[in-house]
């Protein structure tokens, strides 16, 4: 399958480049910018993109790509640092700008009289589909086109390397589009992958389809077949155990295993801690049974968890108790299954989980998906034995959702908001009791149901209720009441690292509040949490 290789020099938007190209139907891989490239790394690679970087090409942390990229005849696209890197590697110079350029900057490109496919992307008269179909009419005259790009850089090209020529300039007077005269090498000072870059997708498509001639072969149907082949080779007839959390990733991973292996080979284990959302266990069970699960092990451990949490108020202590008990139960129950030593442990790890966070360098960090499994002896032992399989480890979250749809998982499971491992345990502030779990579960379900009914659920990244450890005075008819206080939380976010408060229309908030207090008698007052992250976190504990 045709593929685009992205060399990651540490830019915040490297992942976005990968996702944009995958959305166009072409497979991408991200590797560290300074990696020594093997033949295997370059197999099927039709083009290489050099990403941006927080570093300068002159600084010691400015990574240098393998010289091989310049000798393979493979088309190159340098973005920001990637362009500066190519220019420097080929003998040009790069220097610091008097001040950093950041945000929207207009770029004007001079389009030569040619039918060169890369330039076609800049021409308003040409549709993206035409570019993909390679039906680009030749033009007789040179023309210019301007658009608003998105930039973030502190350095600029001062002398172009031999063979490079400037075709576009920023309104601030610096080279913005640079092409090589005889090699298929292209450089952009701006970020076409950024959401706010006008014509960015067209430019990427022009490179991927027009220059690299990639075929859009990356589909989820194709992915299922690839997984089927690789699992058949690796797993054979051995049993596979997957721990299901109720979240999208592990449920889709379960569906994929059931689709690609014999269903009696696939053991799915789900631990109900008693801290789950309303009907969560039932929904997970139904979904997996519908997908053909034969060996579904649902463990009801509510009493064990509540007993261990009795009288505990400290958030960290609660998290530790829940996490430790989860691992203890997991170890015990896996033993009880009596699987042969040769069984494989599957995890719902995603592509983004494998990219080392923070540095943004495309190294496999072997992160372990669920916090419950971090340091879990079971996972560690299996990893050492080479018996871990991660069938989603090539996919982005959006692709996991698409795969879920293809596997016929319900939309309610696929589009479900994230839920923390300790569950309601970190949403009941103070001591956790069975009664409080029931109150919160009911109120939270009303809230979520209303968001769905009002068409707001998919606009919100995460929404939930938090039961506060205070009671407040109220009235019901002639009676004085003394009910619990519920805080509603709703945020928008890209990845949960930062979050904005969802700006609810007040009418919705008022109606939802009334519905909750009318239905859940134990709740006397509802508040809305208006704190962003930072300084607050998304969860309250």
Of 21 and 538, nearer to ligand XMP (C-beta) is 538
By CB under 6 A, the count of residues binding ligand XMP is 12
Q: Are strands 27-32 and 185-188 parallel, antiparallel or unpaired?
A: unpaired
Sequence-ordered list of residues with C-beta below 8 angstroms from that of 204, at least 6 positions apart, any chain: 17, 20, 21, 24, 192, 193
Cβ closest to ligand XMP, residue 28 vs residue 462: 462
Confirm or reject binding of residue 539 to ligand XMP (CB under 6 A). yes
Rounded to whole angstroms, the Cα distance separating 429 from 100 reads: 45
Select 189 or 245, whichever has its Cβ closest to ligand XMP: 245
Site membership for ligand XMP, residue 462 (CB under 6 A): yes
Q: Of 528, 1, 76, 383, give the one whose Cα is nearest residue 229.
A: 1
Quick one: 210 or 420, whose CB is closer to ligand XMP? 420
Catalytic residue among 101, 180, 193, 267: 193
- Name the segment binding ligand XMP (CB under 6 A); options: 83-91, 178-186, 414-422, 466-474: 414-422
In the DSSP assignment, the letter for residue 161 is P
**What's phi and psi for 178, nearest 5 deg?**
-130, 130
Binds ligand XMP by CB under 6 A, chosen from 44, 59, 342, 537: 537
Query: Which of 245, 301, 235, 238 lies closest to 268 in space, CA to CA?
Result: 245
Q: Which stretch binds ligand XMP (CB under 6 A): 102-110, 190-198, 418-426, 506-514?
A: 418-426
Using CA of residue 330, residue 332, residue 336, residue 340, what is the dihedral sign? positive
| Nearest approach, Cβ of residue 533 and ligand XMP (Å) | 5
Smallest distance, ligand XMP to C-beta of residue 451, A: 16
Among the residue ranges 18-26, 309-317, 397-405, 419-427, the one whose residues contact ligand XMP (CB under 6 A): 419-427
CA dihedral in degrees (32, 35, 40, 44; nearest 10)?
50
Write down the least CB distance from residue 498 to ligand XMP, Å: 9
**Choice between 84 and 462, CB closer to ligand XMP:** 462
What is the DSSP secondary-structure string of 227-290? HHHHHHHHHTT--EEEEE-SSHHHHHHHHHHHHHS-GGGEEEEEEE-S-SPTTHHHHHHHHHHH
Q: Of 236 and 418, which CB lies nearer to ligand XMP in the complex structure? A: 418
| Site membership for ligand XMP, residue 449 (CB under 6 A) | no
Q: How far is the CB of 421 from ligand XMP (least distance, A)?
A: 3
Tell the smallest beta-carbon distance from residue 422 to ligand XMP (Å): 5
Q: Which residue has the tokens 């960090």?
A: 365
Q: Left (φ > 0), alpha (ψ -120 to 50) or beta: where does 344 sit? A: beta
Q: Which two tokens stand for residue 499?
A: 């979050």
Helical pair 506-519 and 434-453, crossing angle rounded to 10 deg: 140
Q: In whole angstroms, how close is the CB of 402 to ligand XMP at the nearest point? A: 21
Task: Give residues 477-496 in contact with ligand XMP (rule: CB under 6 A).
Answer: 496
Q: How far is the CB of 393 from ligand XMP (least distance, A)?
A: 18
420 binds ligand XMP (CB under 6 A): yes
Nearest to ligand XMP of 141, 316 (CB atom): 316
CB of 249 vs ligand XMP, minimal distance in Å = 10
Radius of gyration of the chain (CA): 27
| Structure token digits, residue 412 | 């309610």
Contact between 418 and ligand XMP by CB under 6 A: the answer reads yes
Q: Quick one: angle between helices 220-235 and 248-260, nearest 10?
A: 70
Residues 101/172, Cβ–Cβ less than 8 Å = yes
Angle at 2 between CA 75 and CA 71, to 5 degrees: 30
| Token pair 């069984």 in the structure block, residue | 343
Q: Does 533 bind ligand XMP (CB under 6 A)?
A: yes
Q: Before 12, cis peptide (omega within 30)?
A: no
Q: Of 370 and 513, which CB lies nearer to ligand XMP in the complex structure?
A: 370
Q: In whole angstroms, what is the distance from residue 79 CA to residue 113 CA?
A: 25
Q: Give the nearer residue to ligand XMP in terms of CB position, either 57 or 327.
A: 327
Distance in angstroms (rounded) separating the CA atoms of residues 395 and 252: 11
Choose between 246 and 255: whose C-beta lies nearer to ligand XMP: 246
Applying CB under 6 A, among 371, 383, 402, 415 the residue interacting with ligand XMP is: 371
Among 421, 425, 483, 524, binds ligand XMP (CB under 6 A): 421
CB-CB neighbours of 89 under 10 Å: 17
Q: Quick check: is 80 catalytic?
A: yes
Q: In what order do the strands lie in the sheet with 295-300?
A: 295-300, 266-272, 240-244, 344-346, 388-389
State the Cα–Cα distance between residues 156 and 26, nearest whole angstrom: 31
With contacts defined by CB under 6 A, name the span among 90-98, 128-136, 173-181, 420-428 that binds ligand XMP.
420-428
Among 47, 62, 422, 483, binds ligand XMP (CB under 6 A): 422
Catalytic residue status for 191:
yes
Q: Interacting stretch for ligand XMP, rule CB under 6 A, among 82-90, 106-114, 149-157, 415-423?
A: 415-423
32 binds ligand XMP (CB under 6 A): no
**Options 153, 180, 191, 417, the catalytic residue:** 191
Q: Which stretch binds ligand XMP (CB under 6 A): 188-196, 309-317, 408-416, 532-540?
A: 532-540
Q: How far is the CB of 63 from ligand XMP (least distance, A)?
A: 30
- The footprint of ligand XMP (CB under 6 A) covers 370-371, 418, 420-422, 462, 496, 533, 537-539
Catalytic residues: 80, 191, 193
């Amino acid at each position: 399958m045709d593929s685009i290789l992205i060399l990651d020099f540490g830019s915040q938007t490297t992942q976005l480049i990968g996702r944009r190209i995958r959305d166009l139907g072409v497979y991408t891989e991200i590797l560290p910018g300074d990696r020594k490239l093997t033949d295997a790394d370059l197999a099927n690679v039709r083009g290489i993109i050099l990403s941006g970087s927080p570093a300068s090409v002159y600084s010691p942390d400015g990574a240098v790509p393998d010289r091989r990229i310049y000798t393979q005849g493979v088309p190159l696209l340098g973005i920001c640092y990637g362009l500066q890197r190519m220019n420097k590697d080929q003998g040009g110079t790069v220097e610091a700008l008097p001040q950093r350029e950041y945000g929207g900057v207009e770029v004007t490109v001079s389009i030569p009289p040619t039918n060169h496919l890369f330039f076609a992307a800049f021409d308003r008269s040409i549709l993206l589909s035409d570019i993909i179909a390679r039906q680009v009419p030749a033009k007789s005259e040179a023309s210019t086109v301007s658009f608003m790009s998105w930039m973030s850089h502190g350095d600029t090209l001062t002398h172009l390397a031999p063979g490079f020529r400037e075709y576009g300039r920023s309104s601030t007077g610096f080279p913005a589009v640079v092409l090589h005269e005889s090699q298929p090498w292209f450089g952009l000072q701006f970020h076409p992958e950024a959401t706010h870059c006008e014509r960015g997708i067209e430019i990427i498509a022009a490179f991927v389809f027009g220059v690299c001639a990639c075929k859009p072969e990356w589909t989820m149907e194709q992915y299922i077949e690839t997984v089927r082949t690789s699992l058949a080779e690796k797993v054979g007839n051995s049993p596979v155990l997957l721990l299901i959390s109720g979240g999208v990733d592990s449920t889709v991973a379960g569906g994929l295993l059931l689709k690609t292996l014999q269903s009696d080979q696939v053991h799915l284990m789900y631990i109900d801690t008693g801290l789950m959302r309303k009907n969560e266990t039932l929904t997970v069970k139904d979904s997996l049974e519908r997908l053909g699960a034969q060996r579904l092990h649902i463990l009801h451990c509510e009493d064990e968890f509540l007993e261990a949490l009795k009288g505990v108020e400290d958030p960290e202590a609660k998290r530790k108790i829940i996490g430790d008990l989860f691992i203890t139960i997991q170890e015990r129950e896996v033993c009880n299954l009596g699987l042969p030593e040769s069984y494989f442990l599957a995890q719902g790890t995603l592509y983004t989980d494998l990219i080392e966070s923070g540095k943004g360098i495309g190294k496999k960090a072997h992160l372990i998906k669920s916090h419950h499994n971090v340091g879990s002896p079971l996972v560690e032992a299996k990893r050492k034995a080479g018996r871990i399989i991660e069938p989603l480890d090539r996919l982005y979250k959006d692709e996991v959702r698409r795969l879920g749809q293809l596997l016929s998982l319900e939309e309610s499971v696929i589009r479900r908001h994230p839920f923390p491992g300790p569950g309601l345990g970190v949403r009941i502030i103070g001591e956790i009791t069975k009664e409080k779990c029931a109150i919160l579960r009911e109120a939270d379900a009303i809230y979520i149901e209303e968001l769905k009914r009002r068409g707001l659920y998919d606009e919100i990244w995460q929404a939930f209720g938090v039961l506060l450890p205070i009671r407040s005075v109220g009235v019901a008819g002639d009676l004085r009441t003394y009910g619990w206080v519920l805080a509603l939380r709703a945020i928008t976010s890209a990845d949960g690292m930062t979050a904005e408060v969802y700006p609810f229309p007040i009418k919705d908030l008022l109606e939802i509040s009334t519905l909750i207090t009318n239905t859940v008698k134990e709740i006397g007052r509802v508040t809305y949490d208006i704190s962003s992250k930072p300084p607050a976190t998304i969860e309250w504990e």
